[in-house]
Chains A and B, each alone.
Chain A
Amino acid sequence: MTDATEMTQEEREATLGGIGCARKRKEDIRFIQGKGNYVDDVKLPGQVFGDFVRSPYAHARIKSIDTEAAKAVPGVLAVLTAADLKPLNLHWMPTLAGDTQAVLADEKVHFQNQEVAFVIGEDRYAVSDGIQAVEVDYEDLPVLVDPKQALAEDAPVLREDVEGKDNVGQGLRTHPNHIFTWDVGDKDATEKAFSSAAVTVKEEIFYQRVHPCPLEPCGCVASMDPIKGELTLYGTFQAPHVVRTVVSLIAGLPEHKIRVIAPDIGGGFGNKVGAYPGYVCATVGTIVLGRPVKWVEGRIDNLSTTAFARDYHMTGELAADSHGRITAIRVHVLADHGAFNAHAQPTKWPAGLFSIVTGSYDIPAAHIEVDGVYTNKAPGGVAYRCSFRVTEASYLIERMVDVLAQKVGLDKAEIRLKNFVTPEQFPYTSCLDWEYDSGDYHTALNKVLEAVDYRGLRREQEEKRRNGELMGIGIATFTEIVGAGPSRNCDILGIGMFDSCEIRIHPTGSAIARLGTKSQGQGHETTYAQILATELGIPSDDITVEEGDTDTAPYGLGTYGSRSTPVAGAAAAQAARKIKAKARKIAAHMLEVGEKDLEWEVDRFKVKGLPEKAATMKEIAFAAYQNLPEGLEPGLEAVNYYDPPNFTYPFGAYLCVVDVDRLTGEVKVRRFYALDDCGTRINPMVIEGQVHGGLTEAFAIAMGQELTFDETGNIQGASFMDYFLPTAVETPVWETDFTVTPSPHHPIGAKGVGESPNVGGVSAFSNAVVDAFAHLGVSHMPMPHTPWRVWKQCAALGIGE
């Protein structure tokens, strides 16, 4: 074959736009021109709108619902209640956690703003009139918003529908408001370590209820073709294929008659993993009316009803020797799951991956117990930009290490360096049985300490303290566990958490790849193409990446828990390698040599020792459709379903410096330095963007986000008036850095990064705030660190005025 190009090997490599380059994003071109296609942009012929009548009460019996007046409102087409869904058996739906959830309140409401009736009309305004006209007669019942009170002997029973059931899907129950107990670790060994420890510390650590709050709320458009009997469901789905399976199971429609399309998604952060009543009601609506039905939630609906995160009441304990070497950890969690156990975690894991709680530290013994509890709050419990409760776990351990450091009088960096898993210990099996793939924690932390002149900062802090000023330095050295996951321990509703990629190479050498994941802003169209470019020797600009249409993409479990790169990214590499294996056969045929005589170079197979004899991938692609060795089938395509052998364990070292105004309680973040190690880096620009975004969300959580409830179950602050989303003004400036410790088991060594900054960020902020008060004997302050709360701390210490 001819080698017409005069480019050098390096130039050819650069033209590929492959792994490691800061390629500009392919998806941007439509977004910057207002040509994205989000679910609310979907406009089908004859489309109508639906929305909910919601309960003002958190706990009440529904005595009656009168829909007559609503049905008479001009433009209103139908009003659905639980009674209408009952004959279809759709008034309740299964949750991912084995429980059931009311689609429309059936005799009782269990939380404020719960869905009670669904009004469908010609336009949004007619629907809103119809909602006003629905008359619901409630009898209010005693409300439980505190999980501790929910477990009191004489507490009212919230879920009468499961009263008497000793298991609602995730373990044995001990009380009518109890959902499960999850217990891991070695209780005896842990107790022994505690009883013989030189030092022990204990702290009540509450990780408040927060909400992922993507800028685009959740929604869908359901469209039934009554002639073909086919349902198309557009929606804000982080996991479209799972939605198709769930809809098939719930609605009893054959799965091949359902097409789920996740168009562009305006951020997800976990909020768009679950299945919500709106999806079911819109689907019933289109079946009943024969017209497409759109449901898009409002912001208050979003914050008050679709998947919240956290709400973990944790008691953490560490045992250590007199030098601050940790010997055991014990944690109890009271997990407030709200009215239905509907958290989105791998089904077998009632507390997700919380047992990663030993973090980056080599701790010999651990015992963890989690009790899930029902309360009169919205259901959910998702990974808000974290991999299944890793954030809770990481927050707990990072806080506790600081508490211990203060108790034994060790520097907070030193105690970490002392307890880290060492580089030689990898692959490292934690006492809670996770096999950490790779890491170098010492290098990461030392690099950060040097970059910020840690000693200098501590000296400055000393001085400030002498002058009565408050300055805090927070460190977080987290380890994530992402890329769920190996099907031997991860499934959703029995489906292993693999992911997939299908590649087709066109005759002229360009390609399309489809994957089972779904970007919500992560930039998959850009980054997957880079993986493929490097693997296949085809420029990333010549590779189209598609996701989100279940009719065309191979089955996958979706995007959440930083699983896209670790799982689907691996599938992409593996599928590409299948193509390359076939390409080698074709090249050998073209060049009339044996396969063994060929070697790969950037974008071509060359004959060893005869560098001018080569076949480029472009030439091979064409040959695949006309010039094949005998016995080889035409075409150049491959599919890979990748079941990861293990999770990946990204890690990082973050350092945050704050100044606290003791008179106003205001916390000013002076500096934030984030070093991430996500293994092989596919696109540094995208990684940096992910880190900025994750840190900003962490900042929001640590400094202001909280969904609280009054004693009658009214949700407080479920609008942008109150729920804290930092603007450009409050948001600190971020400094980023990295080390690269590839994952040994991932085909390209990548680990995933999207969630690390949120996991590590929250504890870095919180540790910094507490550190500002450490010299005054304060070991813990509850999040969020709002000025009012921080000022109260100052006042309690007598330094508030």
Chain B
Amino acid sequence: MSKIPVKMTVNGRAVDDLVEPRLLLVHFLREKLNLTGPHVGCETSHCGACTIDLDGMSVKSCTVFAVQAEGAEITTVEGMANADGSLSALQEGFMQEHGLQCGYCTPGMIMRAHRLLQENANPSDEEIRWELSGNLCRCTGYQNIVKAVRYAADKLNAQREAAE
């Protein structure tokens, strides 16, 4: 199959490559760029394990072709740490609140929660549950994931307040 050139920015790094038009973005990230944070749990847009941030939206990278991401700005969980390399508030929250067990859903959850907090800095528990409902977890029962997001929201809000 003939290949098509693609260019995008992934975690702040410019990437260009030649790909088959049918190559899924998740496989491009995982197998070409060795960013194995995004996981595959279904390939049908249901589980959210492959969630990434693409041009300011939460996107399930299993249902996007790599060529569709031409010119896009992408963040994966590997790009989530703070600029100084320390853990982001969300990553810290998941650890502090026991928001993960097997960890398979975690990168997707963190990426989705990241976008949620960009859009709503102070979500209620109901809102968190609703906004994360495209991401399945088989291990935690979600309760501690909700707490983890709450933890991050509170921490970020406190930081913002302190800065003001």
Q: Mark A330-356, 1 if CB is under 8 A from B, else 0.
A: 000000000000000000000000000
Q: Give CA–CA (A29, B94) in the complex, Å.
A: 10
Q: Give CA–CA (A31, B81) in the complex, Å.
A: 13
Could you tell me if B140 and A32 are in contact, using CB atoms closer than 8 angstroms?
Answer: no
| Residues from chain A with Cβ under 8 Å of B139 in the complex | 215, 267, 521, 689, 693
Could you tell me if B102 and A689 are in contact, using CB atoms closer than 8 angstroms?
Answer: no
Q: Give CA–CA (A31, B105) in the complex, Å.
A: 9
Could you tell me if A686 and B42 are in contact, using CB atoms closer than 8 angstroms?
Answer: no
Closest to B49 in A: A215
Q: Mark B28-61, 1 if CB is under 8 A from A, else 0.
A: 0011001111111111101101000000000000
Could you tell me if A34 and B76 are in contact, using CB atoms closer than 8 angstroms?
Answer: yes
15-66 of chain A: CB within 8 A of chain B: 24-25, 27-38, 40-41, 43
Closest to B81 in A: A33
| Residues from chain A with Cβ under 8 Å of B135 in the complex | 727-728
Q: Give CA–CA (A734, B145) in the complex, Å.
A: 13
Could you tell me if B104 and A267 are in contact, using CB atoms closer than 8 angstroms?
Answer: yes
Q: Give CA–CA (A337, B81) in the complex, Å.
A: 48
Could you tell me if A34 and B77 are in contact, using CB atoms closer than 8 angstroms?
Answer: yes
Q: Which of A30, A33, A216, A695 contacts B39 (CB 8 A)?
A: A216
| Residues from chain B with Cβ under 8 Å of A625 in the complex | none
Could you tell me if B102 and A265 are in contact, using CB atoms closer than 8 angstroms?
Answer: yes
| Residues from chain B with Cβ under 8 Å of A728 in the complex | 128-130, 132-133, 135, 137, 142, 145-146
Question: Is B143 on the interface with A (CB-CB < 8 A)?
Answer: yes
Q: Give CA–CA (A379, B128) in the complex, Å.
A: 39
Closest to B126 in A: A729
Beyond A34-B107, A693-B138, whether A28 also contacts B78 by CB under 8 A is no
| Residues from chain B with Cβ under 8 Å of A213 in the complex | 138
Q: Separation in Å of the A265 CB from the closest CB of chain B?
A: 7
| Residues from chain B with Cβ under 8 Å of A214 in the complex | 102, 104, 138
Q: Which of B95, B128, B146 has its CB near the most chain A CB atoms (within 10 A)?
A: B95
Q: Which of A215, A694, A731 contacts B102 (CB 8 A)?
A: A215
Q: Give CA–CA (A298, B137) in the complex, Å.
A: 17
Could you tell me if A43 and B136 are in contact, using CB atoms closer than 8 angstroms?
Answer: no
> Which range holds the interface residue count of chain A?
35 or more
Chief secondary structure at chain A's binding surface: loop
Q: Which of A34, A298, A521, A731 contacts B141 (CB 8 A)?
A: A731
Question: Is A487 on the interface with B (CB-CB < 8 A)?
Answer: no
The stretch from A602-610, A628-636, A718-726 touching chain B is A718-726
B interface size (C-beta, 8 A): 59
Beyond A34-B78, A216-B39, A299-B42, whether A693 also contacts B140 by CB under 8 A is yes
Question: Is A646 on the interface with B (CB-CB < 8 A)?
Answer: no
Question: Is B20 on the interface with A (CB-CB < 8 A)?
Answer: yes
Could you tell me if A267 and B102 are in contact, using CB atoms closer than 8 angstroms?
Answer: yes
Q: Mark A252-296, 1 if CB is under 8 A from B, else 0.
A: 000000000000111101000000000000000000000000001
Question: Is A520 on the interface with B (CB-CB < 8 A)?
Answer: yes
Could you tell me if A29 and B95 are in contact, using CB atoms closer than 8 angstroms?
Answer: yes
Q: Give CA–CA (A33, B88) in the complex, Å.
A: 10
Q: Which of B44, B107, B141 contacts A696 (CB 8 A)?
A: B141
Question: Is A364 on the interface with B (CB-CB < 8 A)?
Answer: no
Q: Separation in Å of the B13 CB from the closest CB of chain A?
A: 15
Beyond A725-B138, A731-B142, whether A32 also contacts B100 by CB under 8 A is yes
638-697 of chain A: CB within 8 A of chain B: 685-686, 688-690, 692-697
| Residues from chain A with Cβ under 8 Å of B142 in the complex | 692, 696, 727-728, 731
| 25 contacting pairs across A/B (C-beta < 8 A) | A25-B98, A25-B100, A28-B95, A30-B103, A31-B107, A36-B104, A40-B30, A40-B39, A40-B40, A125-B20, A214-B138, A215-B104, A215-B137, A215-B139, A217-B41, A265-B102, A266-B104, A298-B43, A521-B139, A688-B98, A689-B98, A720-B136, A727-B135, A728-B129, A731-B142
